Amino acid sequence: MTSLETILGSAGGVASLSYLQTRGVPRREVDRELRSGALLRVRQGWVASPAANAEIVQAVRVGGVLTCQSVLRRLGVWCDDDRLLHVRVGKHTTHLSAPHDRRMPLGRPGSRGVRIHRTVAGSEALETGRSVDSVEMAVIHLFHCEPRDNVIVSLDSILNKRILSHERLEEIASILPKKFRSFLSLVDSAAQSGLETKARLGLRRHGIPYRSQVFVEGVGRVDLLIGDRVVLEVDGEAWHSGPLAYAEDRRRDLELLRQGFVVVRVSYAQVMNQWALIEEVIRSLVARREHMWAGRHRRAGLGGIALGGEQLNRTI
């Protein structure tokens, strides 16, 4: 592998000529690779390897760099995917191209599946010639781009995957407008999926007490425990669709019922599209005090199971 290939690979397969030059790649070598087809010209002053990631190439072709959701999804961060290409451009950049053809104007942002982000005042400067924003820069733009709950979903995932620490997120939030800083009080690094986060925030809005990732003997960790005995399990499409996962979920449900818990198992589609109905069911259970162990449960020998997990969020 040549030095050009190594340097270009470290930049995501796409880089500016100035970036390559500062790393010792002579212009004549770049020109030779362009003539041979080993490099492709993306836009004026930018080149890419034929194997470069398509989203990165498209972002540079538009006239900026990859940012926000488009960066975080590449790292496996749970995002409320809007299926748009997120591109950060300069604060005053005006000449933007279509992601698939640099000769065609972009037109109205969003009309070609592109969301344009203007560089945020006060944010860290991007290293010249790089084609992908840092995680920190992507998070800054996430705050400005998404509704609060969607931001918290992604922050939970970032913490759970240990991509950034809570301290680093606080540093990032410190340079953002004050309205964003309160978001960090709602994050939970124990959350295993974006669906769990969405469910947790929905419960919090209505003052329903819960704990996340609680350990139940004979079952393992459950997604959310409401009060003392209502278990809310949120099934993501990826982890609960196979026959083994299906069988294990039913085993867990049966064991929970044996121990006196009330099990509410919901699907990805229900959380995303029917949350109001889920909320109605849970609020009814809470109104009837079925989320708490009662005397009849104690007399039946229930309610003595040792639990471990986050401190109960008692808001009612």
- The model's pLDDT over 34-73, given as tens digits with 9 standing for 90+, comes to 999 999 999 999 999 999 999 999 999 999 999 999 999 9
**Closest Cα to residue 201, out of 253, 239, 151, 261?**
151
* pLDDT value at residue 96: 92
* pLDDT value at residue 126: 45
- Report yes or no on whether pTM surpasses 0.75: yes
* pLDDT value at residue 262: 96
Q: Name the token pair of 27.
A: 């212009």
* pLDDT value at residue 311: 44
* pLDDT value at residue 89: 92
* pLDDT value at residue 307: 54
Mean pLDDT by 10 residues, the chain (316 residues): 79 89 90 93 93 94 94 94 91 89 80 87 56 93 94 96 96 91 91 88 88 93 94 74 83 95 92 90 93 90 61 43
* pLDDT value at residue 129: 62
List the chain domain ranges.
Answer: 1-52, 57-186, 194-308
Domain 194-308: which CATH number of 3.40.960.10, 2.40.50.140, 3.40.50.150, 1.20.210.10: 3.40.960.10
* pLDDT value at residue 209: 86
